[in-house]
Amino acid sequence: MRDKERGVVWEETIIMLPANVRYVFLSATIGNPGEFAMWITKLRKQPCNVVYTDYRPVPLEHYLCPSGGEGLYLVVDDKGKFHEDNFSKAIQSLGEGGTLIGLDKKKKNLSQ
């Protein structure tokens, strides 16, 4: 869904569906759910309710993997805390001309 071209395809698909079709939209990334719901309501003459939760069944963690370096560094933990020390270690371990690769990992047993 992060492809800008896909938005047009989804919009056209929703517009062209028969009036008797009912919808359930699920998204973890939509930035404007209220606006989207109002558009659906106006377009389809059907109510569209937004149900929101910030509960994550699998905690989100962010890691950096230095290209040309070694290790995998936890930089944002499952509580959203930024670990500046690990970020600094990842930067220091970069090889000449290396880059950092960001990862979202769902496994707890990764080396840091």
Range of the domain at 101: 61-105
Q: What is the mean pLDDT of residues 48-62?
A: 86
Query: Of the candidates 43, 84, 81, 41, which has an alpha carbon nearest to the alpha carbon of residue 60?
Result: 81
The answer on 35 and 67 residing in a single domain is no
Question: Tell me, what's the pLDDT at 76?
Answer: 93
In a domain, 77, yes or no: yes
- Residue 50 in any domain: the answer is no
Task: State the Cα–Cα distance between residues 39 and 45, nearest whole angstrom.
Answer: 10
Residue 107 has pLDDT above 80, yes or no: no
* Domain-embedded: residue 55: no
Note whether 65 and 99 are same-domain residues. yes
Number of domains, the chain: 2
User: Both 9 and 38 in a single domain?
Assistant: yes
- Predicted TM-score of the model (pTM): 0.51
- Which residues sit opposite 107 in a β-bridge? none
